[in-house]
Each structure stands twice: as structure tokens, then as C-alpha cells.
Structure 1
Amino acid sequence: MRQLFIPTKRTGILLLSLLFGGFVLNFIMQAASLDMNVTSVFNWISEHAWLYVFGGVFFFCVLLLFASLLPNVYTGAVIAFLVCVLLGIADYKKLSTTGEPLFPWDLMQLKNAQEMSRITKGMISPLAIVISVLIIIGLIYLILKLPKIRISLPLRGIFIAVSLILTFLFVQMLTTQHKIIKKIQYQPVYWNQKVNYANNGLLFAFTGNLRQNLMEKPEGYSKSAIEEIAKKYAALPDPAATKSPAEQPNIVFMMDEAFFDPTRLTGIKLSEDPLSFIHEKEKSSPGGFLLSPEFGGNTANVEFEALTGMSMYFLNGGSIPYQQRIVKMSSLPSIASILKDRGYQALALHPFDKTFYNRNQVYPIMGFDRFTGEKDMKQIERMSPDAYVSDMSAVKEVLKELKESEKPTFLHLVTMQNHFPFTKGVNGPNTVTAEGVDAQYKNELETYVQDTKLTDQALAYLSEELKSLKRPTIVVFWGDHLPALSGGIYTKAGWDTNPRLKHETKLLYMANFDIGKDPLGTVSPAFLGPSVFQLTGQDLPTYYKLLAKVKEEIPGLSKNVLVNESGVLPKLTEQQQALLNDYRLVVYDILAGQNYSKSLMF
């Protein structure tokens, strides 16, 4: 009976192999966070030896668990190893395209695996796919040829129990910041996740993020503090409005996927201006730049700012409010809910899968009456079978909704046409050529420029069609973030050291009534709501008066760069810091606090 619990010599060799595999796996995972630089990994290990040891033991437990669960010990270990390597590759690819590492909440997108495969098509080279297939075939061959190791059922049970207990204790110590974790030099850096992953390693940073809050509780937060803030800003007068229309106007938000002005790229000459309409239109309508909180991805965070007026500046690095917090709430004040209280209907339109970023659950919480996705649209136009729904098609859907509505309408559109990958020919032949770009990036850049030209044409069509609408209508158009073009394109343009340029997208207001033509400068998406209310002659709720005040001082508010009317803001004055402290308290109150603001500021 006792022999059932005693491992054989082969089992001992297996355990040593799995332990070695755990340390190899930890090495690979750390390499993913350090741009696959082997030298950097060895330097990291020399400085964080205990993190490497603990990580190696953790992965040993994972490999042992899977090896014990399946009848063939090799199969379980290989499956676990490959899954972990895939996570490492995902981290590396995300870092190289968006500048951000892999977060636990990113895994929520696995439910959209089919759509994700379409979005990421082109990110992995055919050679890498072939090599991966050959490796998998080789592993299967080895599994079949290696000598069978028989582990008794009781011993398997012991291995499973030990693995689960050690794994649980590791996660528990990490998420509760146990003193042992602190002694091994794990120091979370939630405000800078790239540094967090580089310093602590993919395993520790990823697991530590399981306990991360959207934002920390600000000093001085209380009901009386929110009441004082509400009283202070309620007393402010509404900013002077421009000529307001005779009736409540339609308000359209058009957030365009990965759209920026490519003519700003230094050293690149285009054969024609792809944004000829936009450049001409902003001479007679308010135009400028939107300071996006993101680069290359995380669209949901940009629309979160625009819809709620809450700045990502206050949230911990890597946060995605839609997935981490809002989906768990019963309601959240937004421009949609504010306008609904004023007699509007609130509509959302996204010509793609409705479940991405949990939009199908989040939008009703924010006050939207109806959400139209790709499958709900009656008529869809694409430039080719493999293309996303065109911006022109999305614009026509917007116009259809506005023409059919008898009530003033707020409509929020999130487009898809310009999403990565930028595959030549998908949106028709490239009609704009680019000179001054490296040959390896020429097709990619010209394809992207062609996409922006199509967007420009869709906006020209929308501008003309606004004239036929009976109800006054204002459109706010902006790009959500810069595209995830190959890094060499931005490097050659000299943008690597200029965070402002890498976060400024195009912003344009259009209307079928007089909204003036004052330039907008650089503005964060959080301040679009107050600006639209001012242009349409609507009273500002107390919350919007606070936002308008912040906008006066710091119109461009971002973790990456602060911008005012004079340019980049090197440091905050005491007055500006006090203003941001008020803003921070209100954002915390709404997102993570007791929501005293709901009855006081909206």
C-alpha cells in the first residue's frame, strides 16, 4: 500500500524535468516583457533572483498540476507549457503594437475569439505559423515516443493537491501583499504598467493586477467634500453660448477608429491631401486635435472619457473601466443619461460585434435606449468581402436614424473601417502614394492613408446631407487613437520622443446651424460634452461646469502629456492642482465611492 505513495525513479526524473521546465517558462515569460532581449532577461534575473525563483516554482506547480490531471503526463505538461507561452507571445505582441502589456481583463475578450482573430489577422507572419505547426507536430511525436510514466492514483492526488495549494498560496500572498512577497522585492507600479511588467516580470505583474482597483481613494474623500465641491461649481455661471438653435438639436458623436492626420508625419510626402475636405472644412467650422489617452488600441477608454467626462488621467495604468467596473454597476451618469432627462432619445451604433468591451451591457447602464450592432444593420457596405463596414455605410445608417426620429436624438457612433491590419487592397486600390517612407512600410502606410481618404469622403457626404435634415444637428468627429502602424514609421518621423504627437488625433465639429469657426486647439475627450452643450445653448449641469473649468486651465489632460493653450504644460500651478483634486474626488465618488454626486451635480 505504501508503494502507491512512493514515486519511482522515472517519476523523480519527471519532477526534475518539470521543475526545469518551470524555470525555462519563467525565463520566456520575462523575455516577453523585455522585448525578447535575452541579455535584458539575464540582467533582470541578477537583480531580482528571488522573483525568478518564486516564478519558476509557480510554473513548476502549473506544469505538475496539468501533468497529473491527464493520463499521459507529457500531454498535460506540454499543453500547460504551450498555453503559458501563448500568453507570453500575446504580451509581447500587445507591447510592440500598443505599448501596453497583457492585463487579466484582456482575457475577457476570449469570448470574442472569432472576431479577435479577424482583428489581429496579419499580426502574425505566415512563417511563424508554419514554425508553430512544425513545433506542435514535433511535440506530438515526442509524446508518442517517450517512455510511458505510470503514476499511481494516490500519488497523482497528492501532486494535484500540492500544486493547487501552492498556487493558491502564491496568488493569495501576492494579492494581499503578504510580508514574504515584499521581502522578495515585488513592488507593484500600477501607475506605469510597462515599468510594472519590466521590473516585476509578467507573472508577478499580471497576477498582481488581479487586485488592482480602478483608482485609489483620494485623500479627503467624504460626503461633505463632495457637497462642498457641488456647491462651489453650481454657483458658477454657464459659459457664454453661441447662437443657439430654435429647437433642441440632434447631437452626433462620431468616434472614428484609428484616425489621425497622416499629413503631419514629418519627412513623408503624399501625392495628394487625403483629408482635403476636413482641412477645408475646419476653415469654416471649429477644428483642432483630440488628445487621446490611448495609442494603438483600447478604444473603449476613449469613448469612456467622451461619454462620461471622467478622465483616464486619474485611473491606474492599464485600466479598462468598461470591463473592470461599469459592467457591475446599475447605472452611470453620462451625456446619454443627461440628454435623456431633457427629452432626447439616446442611440449607439457600432458596425461590429456588440459584445466587444461588454458594450452590450455597458451602454444600457450609461443610459442608452438602443444599441445597433453590425448584425442589426439592414444595409451594409464594404469595400471588399474582407473589409470592415465602411465609414460611408456607418454614416448612412446615422442619417437614416436621424431622419426617422421624431425626437431630438443623441447618437454615438464608433466606426471600424480603419482598424488594423492595414492590408493592401482590402478597402480598394491605393490612390495616394507616399514618398520618404522606408520600402518595407510603403504599402502599409499608403493603405492606411487610403483608408483616411475614404473617411474624409464619408465626412464630406455627411456634411452635405446635414443640410437636408429639418432638425438642427451638430456632429462631433474625432479619431479614437493613432493607428498601430509599424514602429519604424513613427521613428523616422521623429515621433518616438514626442508623446503629444503620438496622442493627437483629428477633431472637427460640423453643424447645419451657426456654431462659429473658432479653432479648438488640443482637447481631451472628457471635455467634449461641455463644449457641445455650450455650442447648442444648453444649460450645463454642475458636473459639466466643473469640467468646463478644468478645460479652461488644462484642455489637454493625459498621463502622457498636459497641454494648455500655450503648448505643453511642464508643471501644474497650485490653482490647477486644486482644481484637479476636486475633479479627482468627483470621479472617485462616481466610479468607486458612494456616488453622492448623482443627486448633487447632475
Structure 2
Amino acid sequence: MKKYLNALKQVLPSLRLDYILLFWSAFFINYCTLGYRFLTSSNMLELVNLPIYIILFTLAIVFIGISISYYFSKKFFLKLVVGYFIYAASSYFIFISRNVNNPDLSPLKFLKNGFWELKFIVPSLIILAIGIISRYLFRELGLRSKFNRLGYSYTKELYLLSILTSSFAINDNKLFRSISSNLDIFLNEDLSDYFPRILALTTSVMLIGFLLVSFFIFKALSDFKSNQPSIEMAITSSLFWAVVFNYTLQLGIRTDEALFGQFIFPGGTLYQIIILFLVYLTVYVLINKYVYASVLISFSGVAVSVANYIKSNMRNEPLLVTDFSWLKQFKLILGFVDSKIAILIVLAVLASIVAIVFLRKRWVAGQIIKQTKIRLIMAASILSAFVAVYSIFVNEENKRIVDGVPVVSKVNNWLDIAYMGHMTNARYKSLMYVWTKQLTKPIMERPEDYSEERIEELVDKYTKRAQAINEERSADITERTVIYILSESLADPSRIPAVTLSKDIIPNIRTIISKNTGGLMRSDGYGGGTANMENQSLLSLPYYNLSSAVSVMNTEVVPKMTYLPSISNLYDSKNRIAIHLGGAATYSRNDFYRRLGFEKFIATDGTAFEPEVIEEVGLYPSDEATYENVLLNIDESKSQFFSVITYQNHIPWLYGEPSDVFGSSPEFTDAQNSELSNYARLVYQTDIVTKEFLDKLSQLDKDVTVVFYGDHLPGLYPDSIFSDNPELQYQAEYFIWSNHESKKLDYDYVNSSDFTAALLAHTDSKVTPYYALMTDVLDYASINQTQLSDDARTIANDLKLIQYDLMAGAKYLSRNENFFSKQP
């Protein structure tokens, strides 16, 4: 028991009276200084009995001053200066992190931004002066010998240093402004409520937030100097890495504007630092070797920060939890990375290996935690913290978690911006918050009226609805060949404000849209989201009904489904062909098409079927090559279904022909104008070869219908260009074309999940009960409807019930195969 008590004393130095009096003296000093500032700011100072507080404040100052007299020396003063500098630098760095989206704040303007926090300088100088005077008086009055009997205590010296340093932190101007603006504790004029809040705030900030942290830092510095690993070193290092990588992660996704008056929402920075701290402390506890753990943390932190930056620039989306599945395709990842960055990655790996080999026996060698029980207790404590956070978010109701949980409740409940997407949430609530939501949120909220009986009612309802629709239709979609073509990043730049093109780059596609069913499709991503468009177009299940935490449907949703209701299911498995002249493993496409029953998936690697034609335009396989592989696999004697994904217009864009095709905008940088021109030239080629492809299909005896769509805009446009029309950022061209007849239906604006319903209407084809529902959604409850009627809201809810059952529910529809495959 004694050894555990000694271990406890390393954290809580002692239960002796002098320690308790020191703490409460420091507490009262900070209670007064902090309370004075809040009272002054709220014009309530006259309501307080100042003389009593002044007397007690003075006594507390004198007591601490006398207490440090025994320890006061040049060495003590130097430690105090170092502690203050560490605090000032940390405070400033966190302040810069919180303002990473503020274009008017320059990190190098130290004085203007308040690097030197001196609000506690006067009380500290008085304390030091009293210490010096006391030391002199003890010597002159002959009391030094009696005073020496108290003895030197290393722990008490750290305790005193921690008290003084933490007092500077508590009175930090930046902290005060943050508390004032976010906690609203000074707005209540009732003093009976006011002072308990100040009391609670001072206690929590001093005891938990700073005093213990300061103690660990001073202890860690001492252990570092003596070259001995310790728990305090692990804790301090974890906090250091958390503060550093909090900044680098947010820097990688920064923008230049505030949102709802905030450059980062309340609690966002602190939440991310806490989560990173717990993760890094876990690494130290599990590895239990300081050098190994430090190298691993530093390397992984840099790697994740760089990946976050690269993905943000390429796809306007932060690094997400699901992106780590790409590690299995490391070669493909390097293909997207600049060669200079690839070299730096290799050098970083080599540097990490050298650091481990050179330092592991020379620097802080040995175990961090030597007692197994202490190590287990720490591991259990960290795990409990993660479980607590997980359970809080899992039990979220109506997009709110339980109130009153420090930091966590604030960052989640202050303002709901989930509808703005992962990037905005990561920028203003932190990347770790987005990762937390991904790991804890269900893929879809359960509709209130979901039950087996309700699903059976819908089966009956839409079976009858299909009968009514089929009375007015005569064709069967399975008697023709259908080709779905996802055209990578195709979206007309001329629709973007301030963009000027040297010529129309999609004249053929524009003509096709004017004569056939077509218009604009709403994309769920900007600069990315290809797999989600592909998934929705085939399954008809919209992304907009899913949880905001879902990133990639193929990897997060599809594995949880027992049945995939794809239009391809209406065709024989041997007649289902997927073509993508890239890797089959990307976005788990190989597994997706395997589960859809496609016997043939043509890709450059990862499948048994290689393309017969492969040539590049720019950096990737050309659209013409993709179309040639489609033509080579069409069998006019059969009805086939093709799912085709092009690759030509994928980022990065590098193509210089024809030189008379170019684009520009006065609002773009030279680099952005260069990207726009290269992109325009690639799309110009797509337009030409798409018309040639359709002309060849027109010569076939077999009826063929093509559903063609751009999956998203290229991520080359600055966010500011869409400020006046945010929807424009998520719109791309689409058309439905048939080789033997021309038909134009009034579907000018659709979701990718509407394609099959629109295809069946375009071809006058009969529907199954499932597609009867999707037809009603298309006609009455899709994104083209600005305001839903009561009947339309019922249809939208019917869709949610069906989608929930398929994706996250009890799979009641698995007993009703006719709902998906049979025309009533």
C-alpha cells in the first residue's frame, strides 16, 4: 500500500497542511484576479465587499511569498522563467491554431497577437519581492537556522513553480476572451449564481487544467535532464505532440473566412487536443519505450497531416477514417503524390529508422513505466476515457448529445453544421470531431414508424402503384442493352461565375441534352465523391438520407447490406459487365461488383479481365479507350448491362492540346488558370469521343440506351467562387440517350439516385414495385422539388423506410424478392 501512496504523491505532492494552504492561497489569488476582471467587464464591481477581498488577497500573496523564500535562488528564478516561456509559447501556439482560418492574423506578429501574457506579472513580482525580503529578514534576524529545519523538498519546489506558472495561465488574456465569449458566465446579474461559477471555473482551470500540467512539465524537464524516462515525460510529450499536430491538421484544411462569426467553434480546438493527447499517451503506455513511441508518434503525425493536406487540395475533403483503407494500395497513393513529397516520405522513413537505432540505447533508455500494475491502471483509465466519449456520441438524440459534459457537449451542441459536409465540420469543429462522428454515428437514423408491419404495407402499396404505372407502359428494359457511364469530373466550366473559355468545350454533349432527357445532376461531393455517385446511380438509394458521418457508401454501407437492389439485377449475371481502366480495388469496387453479381470486371489490375485497348490522354487512360472496350464487349444478340467509369479527367490535369482551348478567370491564380485550361482541353476531348461513341452505337441493330453523367466538379475552383450560389458547386451534366429513338422528358434537375427511374420512364419500360417507389420519388419528392406537398413528404418517408430496412434495419424486405425483381 505504501508504494502506491508514494506513486500517488508524484501526482498530488502531499496531503500536508502547508501544501493545502499553498494551494488555497494560490486559488484565492486567482479567484480574485479572475473575478475582478469578470466583475469589471459586467459592471458589477460595486456589488462586492472589496475591503475583505483585498485583505484576504494580501494575506495569500504574503504567505506564498514567504513560502518561496527558502527556495528562491538564481536556479529557481531560471526554472520559473523557463516555465513561463513554455506556457507563453504554448498559449500562443494554441491561439494561432484557433485562428488558422483568420486571414487577417499573421502568426509572426508576436507582440500584436499578445505573445507575452503579463496579466499576472504584478502579483508575481510582489510574491518574488516578498520572497527576497523574507529571505533577507530570516538571515538578519537569525531565524535562518530554524527555517532550515523545514528541509529542502524537491517536490515542494516543483509545486511552487507550478503554482506560479499556472497563475499566469489562469489570467491569460486569450483564455479570458475565450471564456467570456463562449461560456457567458458574466451575463447573469444574480451574484448568488455568479460567484459559484467563478469558483468552479477557477478550481477546474487551476487544479485540473494547469496546476497538474505545470507540475508534470517541470518534472518531465528534470527527468529529461537526468536522462531518465518517466510517466511525466510521457504525459508532457503526449500533450506537446497533441498541440503541435492539432495545428498541422487544421492548417491542412484551412480556409480564409469565419463561419457564423467563428474561426473555429467553441470547444473544437480543446476537443482535438484532448483526443490526440489520449491517443499519443496510449502509444507511450503500450510501447513503454520513450524513443520508439516518440518516433512513431512524430512520423505518423507528420504523415497524417501531409495526407490530410494533399487530400484537401485534391478533393476538397479532409482525411477521413475510411481513407486508411487506401494503405492497402500504397502504390496507387504514390501515383497521386508529387515526386518531391514522395522523396521526402522516403527520407522521413529512413530518418525514423536512424533515430531509433542511434537513440534507443543512448537517450532515456529503459521502460517508461516500470510497475506493471501502474501501467495497467493507466491503460484502463485511457480506455475508460475513450469508452465514455464513445458512449456519449453513440447515445446522441436529435443530433444533440447530453448537456453538461465539459468540452464534448460544447463542440457538438453549440451549432449543428453536419449538413455542410465533412470539410466544413473539420475546419470549424476539428478533424478529430469528424472522425469521432464517423466512428460513432449510425449510417442512417431509424425512422420513427419503422416496423415489419410498416414495411409490409409499403410492399403492398407499391405493388399496386407498379400495376398502375405499368398499365401506361409497354416496353421491358431487359430487352435492350443499358450502359451507365460515369464521366470523371465532367462539369461545364462555362456555368461557373467569372470563368471565360476560348470556345464551347462540350458542344456535342450540349446538343445531346437539348434533344434527349437530360440536364443537371446534383452531386454529393465537390472535387470527389465518385464512388457515391456510382453507388447511387446503380442502387437508387440516395446519399442524402444517410448520416452525415458516412463518407464512402461502398466501404461503410454496402458491407452491412444483405441485398443490393441494383438495376443490373434485372439482367443475367453473365451479361453484367463493369469497365474502369484503373485499379479494381479502388473504393472496394472489386467487392462491390462481385456482390452485384457482375461476372466480368475489366480493369488495369485487381481482376481477371484486362482491357483490350489502353492508351492515355494526359496522365490517365483515355475516354476513347474506355469506349472502345465497351464496343468490343457488346454482343448484339444479347441484352447486356454495362457500368462504365472513365478516368481521363481525373486530377491532376496535364494536357496541352489543342492549344486554342483554354480558360481563365480574373479571380483565379496563375496556377488555377493553368489547371482550368488543361482541364478544359481534356473535357473537350471527352465531348468529341463521346459523340463518336454514340454514333457507333447508333449503327447497332440492338436497342441501346446510355445514361451518361459527370460525377462532380473538378476541385480546382476556389470556394469563394460559389459564395453567391452554393448549389452550383454540386451540379454536373447528365443525359439519357437511346440509339434508335430520341425522347426528351422534363427531368432538368435530378439526383444520381433518380437515374434508373428516369431511364425506365425514358424507355417507356415497366417497373417493379421498388422502381414504382423510385418513380414517385423522381416525380414528386426528389431534389428538383423546392417544397414538398403532404403526399410528397409521405413518399419521401416511404423511401427512408425502405432504405433503412435495406441498409441498417432488420432486412424485412429480404423475404419479398418480388418487390425488386418482378413486374406485377
- TMscore range, shorter length: 0.7 to 0.9
Counterpart code for 2:590: N
Of 560, 567, 574, 1:335 maps to 567
Q: Deviations over 1:524-548 (max 9, x none)?
A: 1111112212233321011111111
Q: State the distance in 1 between where 2:270 and 2:462 align.
A: 51
Task: Kindly provide the CA deviation profile for residues 174-201 of structure 1, in whole angstroms up to 9, marking residues without a partner as x.
Answer: 2222899961232556655445435653
1:76/1:57 CA distance change after superposition, 3 Å: closer
The equivalent of 1:238 in structure 2 is 469
Shift of 1:93: 4.0
- Name the SS of the counterpart of 2:408 in structure 1: coil
Rounded Cα–Cα distance in structure 1 between residues aligned with 2:265 and 2:730 = 34
* 1:584 paired to 2:800: yes
Contact 1:252-1:410 within 8 A present in 2 as well: yes
Say if 1:577 and 1:183 are closer, same or farther in 2 by CA, change over 3 A: same
Match of 1:226 in 2: 455
Distance 2:626 2:441 in 1: 37
Amino acid at match of 2:695: E
The Cα shift of 1:49 comes to 7.7
Partners of 1:504 and 1:246 lie apart in 2 by 28
Task: Tell me the equivalent position of 1:61.
Answer: 281
1:336 is aligned with what amino acid? Answer: S
Partner of 2:751: 524
Local SS of the residue matching 1:351: strand
Cα distance between partner residues in 2 of 1:159 and 1:416 = 55
Give the 3-state SS of the residue equivalent to 1:238 in structure 2: helix
The alignment covers a number of residue pairs equal to 572
Task: Name the residue aligned to 2:819.
Answer: 601
**Kept in 2: contact 1:296–1:483 (CA 8 A):** yes
Q: Deviations over 1:398-455 (max 9, x none)?
A: 11111x3632001110111111111244xx5544022445433222101100111111
Partner of 2:406: 184
3-state SS of the aligned residue for 1:287? strand
What corresponds to 1:446 in structure 2?
Answer: 677
Q: 1:528 to 1:15 in 2, by over 3 A?
A: closer
Alignment correspondent of 1:35: 254
- Counterpart CA distance in 2 for 1:358 and 1:133 is 27
Q: Distance in 2 between matches of 1:205 and 1:414?
A: 29
Listed as ranges, the matches of 1:183-332 within 5 Å are 183-187=405-409, 188=412, 192-194=421-423, 196-198=425-427, 200-236=429-465, 237-238=468-469, 244=475, 248-319=479-550, 320-332=552-564
1:410-425 equivalences in 2 (<5 Å): 410-425=641-656
Match of 2:333 in 1: 116
Give the whole-Å Cα distance in 1 for the aligned partners of 2:280 and 2:337: 33
Please state whether the residue corresponding to 2:612 is helix, strand or coil: coil
Q: How many Å apart are 1:161 and its aligned residue?
A: 4.1
Structure 1 letter corresponding to 2:233 = L
Measure the CA separation in 1 of the matches of 2:388 and 2:518.
51
Q: State whether residues 22 and 58 of structure 1, in contact with CA within 8 Å, keep that contact through their aligned partners in structure 2.
A: no
TM-score, scaled relative to structure 2: 0.63
Residues 139 and 476 of structure 1, relative CA distance in 2, 3 Å threshold: closer
Question: 1:530 and 1:159, CA in 2 relative to 1: closer, same or farther beyond 3 A?
Answer: same
Deviations 1:258-290 (A, max 9, x none): 111122223333222211211223333222111
Higher relative contact order (CA 8 A, sep 6+): 1
- Contact kept, 8 Å, 2:245 with 2:301, in 1: the verdict is no
* Residue identity in the other structure for 1:523: V
Work out whether residues 254 and 427 of structure 2, in 8 Å CA contact, stay in contact via their aligned partners in 1: no
The answer to whether 1:380 aligns with 2:599 is no
Indicate the residue corresponding to 2:144 in structure 1: none
Shift of 1:235: 2.0
1:271 to 1:184, Cα distance in 2 relative to 1, 3 A: same
Letter of the 1:15 counterpart: A
Paired amino acid for 2:588: N
Structure label with greater radius of gyration: 2
Return the alpha-carbon distance in structure 2 between the equivalents of residues 576 and 273 of structure 1: 39
Q: Which has the higher helix share?
A: 2
TM-score, normalised with respect to structure 1: 0.84
- Structure 2 counterpart of 1:559: none
Q: Which residue of 2 aligns with 1:168?
A: 383
Contact 1:522–1:555 under 8 Å retained in 2? no
Partner of 1:540: 767
Do the aligned residues in 2 keep the contact of 1:286 with 1:519 (CA within 8 Å)? Answer: yes
| Conserved? CA contact 2:518–2:748, under 8 Å | yes
Bigger mean CA offset, 327-336 vs 506-515: 327-336
Partner deviation per Cα, 1:456-504 (whole Å, 9 max, x = no partner): 11211111101221211111110111111142xx63xx42342321111
For 1:381, give the aligned amino acid. Answer: I
Structure 1 contact 62–80 (Cα < 8 Å) conserved: no
Cα distance change on mapping 1:156 and 1:346 into 2, 3 Å:
farther
Contact 1:530–1:548 (CA<8 Å) still a contact in 2? yes
| Distance (Å, rounded) in 1 between the aligned partners of 2:472 and 2:692 | 28
CA contact (8 A) 1:515 1:535 kept: no
User: Is contact 2:707-2:735 (8 Å) kept?
Assistant: yes
Q: Helix, strand or coil for the counterpart of 2:571?
A: helix
Kept in 1, the 8 Å contact 2:661–2:677? The answer is yes
Per-residue deviation, 1:314: 0.5
> Mapping of 1:123-134 within 5 angstroms?
126=340
CA distance in 2, matches of 1:15, 1:451: 53
Partner residue of 1:87?
304
- Equivalent position of 1:464 in the other structure: 695
* Structure-2 change in CA distance of 1:378 and 1:578 (3 Å): closer
Q: Which 10-residue stretch deviates more, 192-201 or 410-419?
A: 192-201
CA deviation map 1:186-231 (0-9, x unaligned) = 2556655445435653334313422322101110101111122222
CA distance, structure 1, for counterparts of residue 819 and residue 280 of structure 2: 53
State which drifts further: 359-368 or 98-107.
98-107
- C-alpha offsets along residues 284-312 of structure 1, whole Å, 9 cap, x if unaligned? 32221111122211211111111011011
| Equivalent-residue separation in structure 2 for 1:337 and 1:459 (angstroms) | 26
- Show structure 2 runs of 5+ residues with no match: 11-219, 394-400
Aligned-partner residue type, residue 556 of structure 2: Q
CA contact (8 A) 2:574 2:598 kept: no
Q: Which letter maps to 2:281?
A: C
Give the alignment's Cα RMSD to 1 decimal.
3.7
Alpha-carbon distance in 1 for matches of 2:702, 2:243: 65
Secondary structure of the residue that 2:743 maps to in structure 1? coil
Partner residue of 1:352?
Answer: 582
Which has the larger displacement, 285-294 or 198-207?
Answer: 198-207
How far apart are 1:160 and its partner, in Å? 5.9
Distance 2:268 2:762 in 1: 55
Match of 2:730 among 482, 503, 519: 503
Give the Cα separation in 2 of the matches to 1:252 and 1:198.
39
Partner of 2:271: 51
Counterpart-to-counterpart distance in 1, 2:293 and 2:811: 48
Q: Following superposition, which runs of at least 4 residues in structure 1 exceed 6 angstroms of deviation?
A: 5-8, 36-40, 128-143, 178-182, 239-243
Percent of counterpart pairs with the same letter? 21
Distance 1:138 1:112 in 2: 23
Rounded to whole Å, the distance in 1 between the matches of 2:623 and 2:473 is 30
Letter in 2 for 1:27: N
Cα separation, partners in 2 of 1:59 and 1:497, compared to 1, 3 Å: farther
Partner of 1:560: none
Which residue in 1 is equivalent to 2:146?
Answer: none
> Out of 710, 724, 741, which is 1:514 matched to?
741
The residue identity in structure 1 corresponding to 2:621 is V
